[in-house]
Amino acid sequence: MKLVLGIDPGLDGAVAILTDAGELLEIHDMPTLEDGAKGRRAVNPALFASIVYGSQATIAFCELVGPRPTDGVTGAFGFGRSRGIIEGCMAAVGVPLTLIAPPIWKRASNILPGKENKDSARSVAISRWPSKAGFFARKCDCDRAEAALIAVAGLARKGGAG
Confirm whether pTM is higher than 0.85.
yes
Q: What span, in angstroms and rounded, lies between the C-alpha atoms of 63 and 27?
A: 16
Over its C-alpha atoms, the chain yields an Rg (Å, rounded) of 15
Beta-carbon contacts of 134 under 8 Å, excluding residues fewer than 6 positions away, are none
What is the mean pLDDT, run by run of 10 residues, along the chain of 162 residues? 94 95 97 82 93 96 80 67 90 95 92 80 96 95 96 87 57
Q: Domain 3-157 - what CATH class?
A: alpha beta
User: What is the β-pairing status of strands 32-34 and 41-43?
Assistant: antiparallel
Q: Is 122 helix (H, G, I), strand (E, B) or coil?
A: helix
> 64 exposed, middle or buried (CB, 10 Å; 0-12, 13-18, 19+)?
middle
What are the residue boundaries of the structural domains of the chain, listed by start?
Answer: 3-157
